[in-house]
Amino acid sequence: MPRLIPTVLAIACAGFTAPTLHAAEAEALAYARAQLAALGETPDITSVVKASNLRHGALDEAQILELDAAWRAEIGSTSDTVITPVLESDASDALREIVEAANGRIVEIIVMDKMGMNAAISAITSDYWQGDEAKYLETYPKGAGSVFVDTVEFDESSNLYLQQVSGTLTDPSTGMPIGAVTFGLDASAFN
């Protein structure tokens, strides 16, 4: 596994230079930034995030935690009223196509709304609400252009060392933040 420096970046898309990053981390970041830019221009993604913002925008923390608990309870069960609408959307289909086309570089993609709730996912996640995690806290609340590069961690479910790179999603027509996206990258693909 390459040694990658954990870095938190709040950067604008233009003018980014990173002489302190190791080559593998810089390559992973550049790759994720290109994917983020393309994803932000995808109408299915923009639409699903805006719709999710309308559904979840007025929820309080107790309601969010209740939905998150329902999501967790559905994992591995026959009940699927919370997970299925997210997992089987056109936007989630588009994410799975991106993962497939990435030839193993991208392992998962999570698109979150402004509350940190899953709006689209390439695969089932362990929780519905990402809003208490760095992937959300270091992106959407910090505004357009914010990017967070997490540390490399071993993922038992995929048996891979993964690095999550997250960024703020913006509305292409206004430039305003509407949500966030996390790319789970196979760290060994960037060395």
Q: Which residues, 6 or more positions from 102, have their beta carbon under 8 angstroms from its beta carbon?
A: none
Whether 112 is covered by a domain: the verdict is: yes
Beta partners for residue 121, in sequence order: 110
Across the chain, mean pLDDT equals 86
Q: What percent of the chain has pLDDT over 70?
A: 89
Residue-wise pLDDT for 127-164, tens only, equals 999 999 999 999 999 999 999 999 999 988 788 899 99
Please check whether residue 28 lies inside any domain of the structure: yes
- The answer to whether position 2 is within a domain reads no
Number of structural domains the chain divides into: 1
Report residue 63's pLDDT band, with 50, 70 and 90 as the boundaries.
Answer: very high
Q: What is the CATH number of the domain that holds 96?
A: 3.30.450.20
Q: Residue 85 domain-assigned?
A: yes
Residue 54 lies in a domain: yes
Whether residue 24 has pLDDT greater than 90: no
Q: Are 152 and 142 in contact (CB under 8 A)?
A: no
Residue 31 lies in a domain: yes
pLDDT digits (tens, 9 = 90+) for 81-125: 999 999 999 999 999 999 999 999 999 999 999 999 999 999 999
Q: Which residues of 155-191 are buried (b: 16+ CB within 10 A; e: fewer)?
A: beeeebbbbbbbbbbbeeeeeebbbbbbbbbbbbbbe
Q: What average pLDDT score do residues 169-179 get? A: 94
Q: Is residue 1 part of a domain?
A: no
Q: What pLDDT was estimated at residue 18?
A: 42
Range of the domain at 136: 7-13+21-189
Q: How many residues does the chain have?
A: 191
In a domain, 61, yes or no: yes
